[in-house]
Structure 1
Amino acid sequence: MEPQTAPELSFVWYEMEHWLWLIAGATSTFLWIRIGKAQRNDQKQQQLGLIMSLIPAILWIGIALYMVFYDDPFDIGLVLPFHVCYFLNLLMPFMLWRRSYFLFEISYFMVMGGCIQALITPDILTTFPDYINIRYFVVHICLVQSVLYAIFVFGFRPTWKSFGKSLLWTNIYLLFVICLNALLGTNFMYLKEKPTTTTMLDLFGEWPWYIIGGEFLAFAIFSLLMLPFMFSRKKESG
């Protein structure tokens, strides 16, 4: 969870603000995809995707710099982009600008498996217009938006080979973050302790069991994320 100073109002799941963020995210995603599909050539689709994905990346960097200069003391866990969603947020402009299928393969499972849960069960305390609240929702919404843009505008589709690549790179990144947490005393990817809000990791107990359980959970979620494409291929071949 992002450590925050206690706000006057606490964010509550599925009250008006939460629903407004979800509705805004769904509307924004629909519009970007529709505009992208209306473009007449690949270059324009890529340029539009780049603009779309730069918005959350620039927002994240801007808020991180604001905290460095104006929060005293600033929390290093908030200004370094090593929670996996924030790291992927900075990669999305490259994926859409370069039309990179490799980055899509890696990010599809991480984004759809992680960000959707983050939007459904937000791990956040502050309410709008707090900058932590804005960053949290804009980044997670736009990550899902970028991946869906690649699917519906670029026509990208994950394969079982993509599944294996994503699991491999997820665990490579996990090992890197374990070392980083030990060095900096941070809790990126919740590898030192679980979020304080309710998550599926609670099913597996305390550290280190929830990390091991999380590996099996990731495998199951990644597998489920392949199902829509398996069914669509069977329908096409049938």
Structure 2
Amino acid sequence: MDWFGHSNKAFEFEMFSRSHVVILSVFFLISIMIFLNRKKLADEKGRRTEITVAFSLILFEITNQVWMYVNDVWKVGQSMPLELCNIGLILSVILLLTRKKVVFELLFFIAILGATQAIVTPALTYDFPHFRFLHFFYAHMMVVWVTLYFTWVKGYSPTFRTAIKLIVFINLLLPVILFVNKRANGNYWFLRHKPESPSLFDLLGPYPWYIFSLESLLVVFSLIAWLIFRKWDKSQGERSHTH
């Protein structure tokens, strides 16, 4: 058995199994550490780390594409980087390399709402130590950590316009994803059917109504997340003025 785990039967992922719980623990622990060490991390020496993380994400994604091709599982309808979390990864790389606020605004809710949900309820086939397991969680956790880093360490913050920009961005991409799904018999963004593994989609009603439920939840949770981070940002500002 090699590191890439070619034997599928030995690597069947189970939600909230030991490996998943370990990953969740690491995810939340490092997220807390980013917050607690936000002042120490606010150093220009971190620029090298930002670049390194960006290139590690690129390398992991290229390796993933090669793995799918070599193992004859690459398909137009499911292997292109068109899922929201794939788009989040691309935005993370661009943000790390450019530090552009507009990129942060598009990434913020995709990471906080989408990538976090994927980590907690992953649509995943392979368990540890399969490469696809490592790729899935590294990519998704990094998307969230990069967002938290730019929020807590670099001082970027979402605004009401951030939520509006994301909703517009998603709805501009929607026709493209629908077109690709139809032409390639794909299921990007789960617009044709729900994930086969248990997920939050199961609570949103049958097809196609869960798509409208998702759209509504996107608006509601984006506004809630904006309010939470807005209050945190204000409280930080007030503290800095008192010192």
CA distances 1:193-227 after superposition (whole Å, capped 9, x unpaired): 11112223223332221111110111121122112
1:148 aligns with 148
Q: TM-score, normalised by structure 1?
A: 0.86
The CA deviation at 1:116 is 0.9
Give me the whole-angstrom Cα distance separating, in 2, the residues matched to 1:132 and 1:223.
33
Give me the whole-angstrom Cα distance separating, in 1, the residues matched to 2:117 and 2:138.
15
The CA deviation at 1:91 is 2.5
Amino acid at match of 1:113: L
1:47 aligns with 48
Q: TM-score, normalised by structure 2?
A: 0.84
Give me the whole-angstrom Cα distance separating, in 2, the residues matched to 1:62 and 1:110.
23
2:58 aligns with 57
The CA deviation at 1:92 is 1.2
Give me the whole-angstrom Cα distance separating, in 2, the residues matched to 1:95 and 1:38.
17
CA distances 1:139-194 after superposition (whole Å, capped 9, x unpaired): 11110011011112211000001111111101112222111111211111111111
The CA deviation at 1:38 is 3.8
Q: Is the 8 A contact 2:101 2:156 kept in 1?
A: yes
Specify whether residues 73 and 168 from structure 1 end up closer, same or farther in structure 2 by C-alpha distance, changes over 3 A only. Answer: closer
Percentage of matched positions with identical amino acids: 23
Give me the whole-angstrom Cα distance separating, in 2, the residues matched to 1:216 and 1:205.
13
Q: Is the 8 A contact 1:95 1:103 kept in 2?
A: yes
CA distances 1:7-45 after superposition (whole Å, capped 9, x unpaired): 33422222210121123334455667749944643xx43
Q: Is the 8 A contact 1:36 1:48 kept in 2?
A: no
> Unpaired segments of 5 or more residues in structure 1?
none
Q: Is the 8 A contact 1:96 1:150 kept in 2?
A: no
Aligned-partner SS, 1:196: coil
> Unpaired segments of 5 or more residues in structure 2?
1-5
Q: Is the 8 A contact 2:157 2:233 kept in 1?
A: no
1:18 aligns with 20
Q: Is the 8 A contact 2:42 2:154 kept in 1?
A: no
CA distances 1:61-95 after superposition (whole Å, capped 9, x unpaired): 11212321x22353334531011111221221211
Residue 187 (structure 1) aligned with residue 187 (structure 2): yes
Moved more, 224-233 or 190-199: 224-233
Aligned alpha-carbon RMSD (Å): 2.6
The CA deviation at 1:132 is 1.7
2:95 aligns with 95
1:205 aligns with 205
2:138 aligns with 138
Specify whether residues 38 and 225 from structure 1 end up closer, same or farther in structure 2 by C-alpha distance, changes over 3 A only. Answer: closer
Give me the whole-angstrom Cα distance separating, in 2, the residues matched to 1:129 and 1:78.
23
Q: Is the 8 A contact 2:119 2:140 kept in 1?
A: yes
Amino acid at match of 2:153: V
Give me the whole-angstrom Cα distance separating, in 2, the residues matched to 1:30 and 1:214.
28
Q: Is the 8 A contact 1:158 1:229 kept in 2?
A: yes
Moved more, 99-108 or 129-138: 129-138
Give me the whole-angstrom Cα distance separating, in 1, the residues matched to 2:178 and 2:17.
35
Q: Is the 8 A contact 1:45 1:153 kept in 2?
A: no
Specify whether residues 128 and 230 from structure 1 end up closer, same or farther in structure 2 by C-alpha distance, changes over 3 A only. Answer: same
Give me the whole-angstrom Cα distance separating, in 2, the residues matched to 1:36 and 1:91.
24
The CA deviation at 1:134 is 1.4
Give me the whole-angstrom Cα distance separating, in 2, the residues matched to 1:110 and 1:35.
22
2:172 aligns with 172
Amino acid at match of 1:63: N
